[in-house]
């Protein structure tokens, strides 16, 4: 499940980067803006992403203790 979480984090990161770049279309100054804005977005969203995965793990471990997921 950790691999799926890391893939999910990577896809989230790529989606944020693509969206920022797409919205602000392709100049060097926009690239610089995206380079500053995208990490800030990830810093703000990653705790929410991690909290969601923690809840998923808790629900799964409660529903079937034999298949509790590693943290």
Distance separating alpha carbons of residues 48 and 41, to the nearest angstrom = 11
Residue 69 lies in a domain: no
> What pLDDT was estimated at residue 53?
94
Both structure tokens of 20: 């920022």
> What pLDDT was estimated at residue 5?
85
Residue 46 lies in a domain: yes
Residue 17 lies in a domain: yes
Residue 51 lies in a domain: yes
What's the domain range around 57? Answer: 2-62
| pTM, rounded to two decimals | 0.48
Counting the structural domains of the chain, the total is 1
Residue 26 lies in a domain: yes
pLDDT digits (tens), the chain, 71 positions: 888 887 887 777 777 777 777 787 776 566 667 766 777 787 788 899 999 999 999 999 888 766 555 55
Distance separating alpha carbons of residues 60 and 55, to the nearest angstrom = 9
- Supply the DSSP symbol for 66: G
């Amino acid at each position: 499940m950790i691999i799926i979480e890391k893939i999910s984090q990577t896809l989230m990161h790529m989606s944020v980067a693509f969206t920022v770049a797409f919205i602000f279309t392709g100049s060097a100054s926009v690239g610089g803006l995206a380079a500053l804005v995208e990490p800030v977005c990830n810093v703000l969203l990653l705790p929410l992403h991690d909290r969601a995965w923690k809840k998923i793990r808790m629900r799964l471990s409660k529903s079937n203790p034999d298949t509790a997921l590693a943290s």
